[in-house]
């Protein structure tokens, strides 16, 4: 009987209920985590990757911190993170008092965006001398040709470049667009390999536009779709409503134009263009 009593006592000790001090500590931790997550969400919504990365723990290994910072930088470019939000209060309420008093919690957030799309992100948060910080993070990763909504400064630069391209095409100066492409290095070839084949293809694509009679040009501010191709690489798609009498194409139809852009030392540069008849 004494052995049984000792075993029961040990089991009860292992599942002890929280005392007032434990509950108070857990509530204070929830408040700090709530504030941390609100700051992070606000920074992501503002597409401010630097401010969002400020929520990361200083105790992360350099490689892990770099990986998470890169993940945040990618996220603020993605359209899916425009209007990012999740139920902070619900997430914080579900955190267990034991994990909170031990100083490390993990949870999955059911997030939404401006279009009402629902998805899940994963977080790990730890208590440090500086307060609670994000110590683990799993956000959605960019997909090839996934829709982008860049931060305002970058978006302005891209839009300005595309406006120049559209205006040159409108003015019948397709050759100037070709020279812009030709001057740009390609991220996929060494400069010595940017040969005639590539340049001829770009020239033929651009010059095809000179044969078109365009009745409607896109508004670069509103009607150009940006998508992801890689880190520092953006694809811009737009359509022209036009005819092509030279080819017997009299009824108005749509022609797609795809411009490949890369981040350059100063702003953005087009390194490839395709016309999709």
Mean pLDDT to the nearest integer, 32-39:
97
Look at residues 138, 166, 196 and tell me which one is the last residue of a structural domain.
138
Rounded distance, CA 25 to CA 33, Å? 12
Q: Are residues 172 and 264 in the same domain?
A: yes
Please indicate, yes or no, whether residues 112 and 156 belong to a single structural domain of this protein: no
Dihedral of CA atoms 242, 246, 249, 251 in degrees, nearest 10, equals 50
Comparison of pLDDT for 49 and 213, the residue scoring more: 49
Residues 95 and 205 in one domain: no
Model pLDDT, residue 15: 52
Two tokens, residue 142? 């960019």
Q: What are the backbone dihedrals phi and psi of residue 5, each rounded to the nearest 5 degrees, phi first?
A: -65, -40
Same domain, 132 and 157: no
* Mean pLDDT along residues 75-89: 96
Q: Answer yes or no: do 72 and 177 share one domain.
A: no
The pLDDT of residue 256 is above 80: yes
DSSP state of 267: S
% of the chain residues with pLDDT over 90? 65
Q: Which has more confidence, 189 or 170? A: 170
Is the pLDDT at 67 greater than 80? The verdict is yes
Q: Range of 38's domain? A: 21-138
For the whole model, what pTM was predicted?
A: 0.84
> Looking at the DSSP assignment, which residues form a beta bridge with residue 104?
126
- Asked if 58 and 107 sit in the same domain, the reply is yes
Q: Are residues 133 and 157 in the same domain?
A: no
User: Does 143 reside within a domain?
Assistant: no
Tell me, what CATH number does 252's domain have? 3.10.450
Predicted local distance difference test score (pLDDT) of residue 196: 59
Indicate the pLDDT class of residue 181, thresholds 50, 70 and 90. Answer: confident
Considering the domain boundaries, does residue 225 fall inside one? Answer: yes
pLDDT at 49: 97
- 4: how many CB neighbours lie within 10 A of its CB? 8
Condensed to tens digits (0 to 9), the pLDDT of residues 5-35 reads 444 444 444 456 888 888 899 999 999 999 9
Rounded to an integer, the average pLDDT of 164-183 is 90
pLDDT at 172 > cutoff 50? yes
The answer to whether residue 138 scores a pLDDT higher than 90 is yes
Number of domains in the chain: 2
Give the per-residue pLDDT at 7: 43
Task: Give the integer Cα–Cα distance in Å for 114 and 19.
Answer: 42
**Residues 128, 157 within the same domain:** no
Task: Clarify whether residues 34 and 120 are in a common domain.
Answer: yes
């Amino acid at each position: 009987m004494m052995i049984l009593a000792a075993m029961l006592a040990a089991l009860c000790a292992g599942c002890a209920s929280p005392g007032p001090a434990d509950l108070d500590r857990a509530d204070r931790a929830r408040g700090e985590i709530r504030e941390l997550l609100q700051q992070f969400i606000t920074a992501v919504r503002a597409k401010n990757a630097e401010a969002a990365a400020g929520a990361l723990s200083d105790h992360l290994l350099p490689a892990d911190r770099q990986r998470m910072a890169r993940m945040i930088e990618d996220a603020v470019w993605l359209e899916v993170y425009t209007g990012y939000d999740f139920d902070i209060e619900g997430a914080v309420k579900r955190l267990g008092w034991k994990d909170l008093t031990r100083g490390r919690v993990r949870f999955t957030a059911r997030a939404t965006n401006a279009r009402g799309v629902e998805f899940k992100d994963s977080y790990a948060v730890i208590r440090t001398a500086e307060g609670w910080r994000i110590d683990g993070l799993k956000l959605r990763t960019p997909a090839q040709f996934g829709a982008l909504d860049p931060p305002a400064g970058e978006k302005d630069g891209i839009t300005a470049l595309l406006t120049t391209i559209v205006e040159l095409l409108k003015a019948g100066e397709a050759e100037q667009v070709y020279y812009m492409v030709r001057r740009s290095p390609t991220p996929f070839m060494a400069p010595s390999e940017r040969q005639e084949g590539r340049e001829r293809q770009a020239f033929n694509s651009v010059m095809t536009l000179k044969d078109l009679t365009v009745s409607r040009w896109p508004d670069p501010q509103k009607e150009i779709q940006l998508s992801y191709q890689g880190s520092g690489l953006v694809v811009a798609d737009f359509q022209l409503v036009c005819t092509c009498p030279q080819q017997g194409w009299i009824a108005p139809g749509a022609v797609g134009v795809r411009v490949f852009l890369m981040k350059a030392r100063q702003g953005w540069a087009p390194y490839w263009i395709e016309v999709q008849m």
